[in-house]
Amino acid sequence: MSTAEETAGDEAQPWGEVTPDAARRLLVAAVEAFAERGYHATTTRDIAGRAGMSPAALYIHYRTKEELLHRISRIGHEKALEVLRTAAGSEGTATERLAEAVRSFVRWHAGQHTVARVVQYELDALGPDARAEIVALRRRNDATVREIIEEGVAAGEFDVPDVRGTTLAVLSLCIDVARWFNAAGARTPDEVGALYADLVLRMVGAQK
Amino acid sequence: MSTAEETAGDEAQPWGEVTPDAARRLLVAAVEAFAERGYHATTTRDIAGRAGMSPAALYIHYRTKEELLHRISRIGHEKALEVLRTAAGSEGTATERLAEAVRSFVRWHAGQHTVARVVQYELDALGPDARAEIVALRRRNDATVREIIEEGVAAGEFDVPDVRGTTLAVLSLCIDVARWFNAAGARTPDEVGALYADLVLRMVGAQK
């Protein structure tokens, strides 16, 4: 469960590009409310109240509650894709790039676990158009990881009988960090990232 | 999103021990409602209505909405633990038992994905006592998998630098099947189970 303090710290980060300030504060408040009570139990009045604004002020920036969820989901997926693509496009072997992709994707899901939970668990609440857009972003995430694995197989670095299935499992493993990660727990995001990079290199049979 | 038909098929299974019939129907209806709208957006009236009963009839079996969630969560966790312990206690090497544990745990999370989602995502909605009971069941799940991995390391079958972290990752990988699994998708529960058993044996460095 996120607290106002966490939201101000870790959770504020992905919304840097959202302007004006009031629109950004409403997104942060919506993430917090959706994470605590679920999308359907949250009203636009709740969100405006958490942001210290009136419902009328909310409607200047977002026409509906769904628009808030859509915006959160789009930014969340775009940031995750950016993290993966940066790793995929870096210098180095497929082994090095896959390890870096896993480390950074895990760090993102651990650091932004409240945002990631909302994005993952409330996907069914989006209308058909918004959902189609998000599904397309998710396919690009998949493709980014799949391409690194395919390159590793082609280069003889990896041994992967089922590339699609293994890609799915690698992404699933990293995404689920958002479910169990606890900032007060035994492992830091960096430590989980390092452990998971090692486990994923084993999954793809990377040469040591 | 579960449909009434799915609920009558796949989802009805774990509740076999719940009697009388009305109490069981209410649990099935609660799982469906929580999965569709979230715990906080669901009322006991909604649940009774889905089960074709009056709110007063619901209160004969469950005093509160939280009691329904607690019952669902306890049965869900007990079934998952049973599945793991059966695999752990079977004949065979640690490699064979770990593969069987993963196959059956994955099949459970794929087949019962609606129940598993409710159980995983609504954990924070439980009160302190109910939550403590569920956390204890989760620790027993962890311990069951950790013991197989420790036995495999001791027998020289596995090479695992971080047993606790690897156990966490193995369980997380299997649990997250409930998030993405789609009964209309490309892979059956058995196929996902076979793929994941292979990936997990790689994660623990099992000798081929």
The predicted structure's pLDDT at residue B15:
87
Q: Per-residue pLDDT tens for A157-178?
A: 999 999 999 999 999 999 999 9
- The torsion region of residue B158 among left (phi > 0), alpha (psi -120 to 50) and beta comes to beta
Q: Touching check for A169 and chain B: CB below 8 Å? A: yes
- The torsion region of residue B135 among left (phi > 0), alpha (psi -120 to 50) and beta comes to alpha
Tell me the average pLDDT across B177-192. 95
Q: Is B6's pLDDT higher than 90?
A: no
Q: Touching check for B120 and chain A: CB below 8 Å? A: yes
- Chain B contact set for A172 (CB, 8 A): 173, 176-177, 179-180
Helix (H/G/I), strand (E/B), else coil: B93: coil
Q: What is the mean pLDDT of chain A?
A: 92
From residue A69, give the alpha-carbon distance in Å to each of A1, A130, A171, B107, B132: 18, 9, 22, 32, 32
Q: Is A9's pLDDT higher than 60?
A: no
Q: Per-residue pLDDT tens for B68-111?
A: 999 999 999 999 999 999 999 999 999 999 999 999 999 999 99
Cβ contact (<8 Å) for B166 and A199?
Answer: yes
The predicted structure's pLDDT at residue A16:
84
**Domain boundary assignment for chain A:** 4-64, 66-203
Which of B1, B40, B202 is opposite residue A203, by nearest beta carbon? B202
Nearest CA in chain B to A43: B41
B124 against B208, higher pLDDT: B124
- ipTM comes to 0.91
Q: Report how many Cβ contacts below 8 Å link chain A to chain B.
A: 82
Q: Is A6's pLDDT higher than 80?
A: no
- Chain A contact set for B162 (CB, 8 A): 195
- Chain A contact set for B40 (CB, 8 A): 37-38, 40-41
Which of B117, B176, B199 is opposite residue A175, by nearest beta carbon? B176
**pLDDT-wise least confident of A6-20, A33-47, A182-196, B123-137:** A6-20
Tell me the average pLDDT across B171-179. 97
Name B144's Cβ contacts closer than 8 Å, sequence gap at least 6. B81, B84, B85, B88, B101
Q: Touching check for B159 and chain A: CB below 8 Å? A: no
The predicted structure's pLDDT at residue A13:
67
Tell me the average pLDDT across A112-128. 94
Q: How many CB atoms neighbour CB A11 within 10 A?
A: 23
The predicted structure's pLDDT at residue B78:
95
Q: Is A78's pLDDT higher than 70?
A: yes
Question: How many Å apart are CA A47 and CA A31, to the nearest integer?
Answer: 9
**pLDDT-wise least confident of A6-15, A135-144, B53-62:** A6-15
Q: Are B50 and B29 in contact (CB under 8 A)?
A: yes
Name B91's Cβ contacts closer than 8 Å, sequence gap at least 6. none
Cβ contact (<8 Å) for B121 and A124?
Answer: no
**Range B4-65 has CATH code 3.40.50.80:** no
Which of A37, A196, A199 is opposite residue B40, by nearest beta carbon? A37
Amino acid letter for position B2: S
Structure-token match 């909302």, residue found:
A118
Q: Is B175's pLDDT higher than 50?
A: yes
The predicted structure's pLDDT at residue A7:
37
Question: How many Å apart are CA B7 and CA A95, to the nearest integer?
Answer: 43
Instruction: DSSP letter for A205, please.
Output: T
Which of B40, B179, B205 is opposite residue A120, by nearest beta carbon? B179
Q: CATH topology for A4-64?
A: Arc Repressor Mutant, subunit A (1.10.10)
Question: How many Å apart are CA A62 and CA B17, to the nearest integer?
Answer: 48
Q: Are B106 and B174 in contact (CB under 8 A)?
A: yes
List the structure tokens of A103: 């480390």
**Alpha-carbon distance B59 to nearest alpha carbon in chain A (angstroms):** 22
CATH of the structural domain A66-203, one choice from 1.10.10.10, 1.10.357.10, 2.60.120.380, 1.10.260.40: 1.10.357.10
From residue A135, give the alpha-carbon distance in Å to each of A120, B37, B84: 11, 21, 33
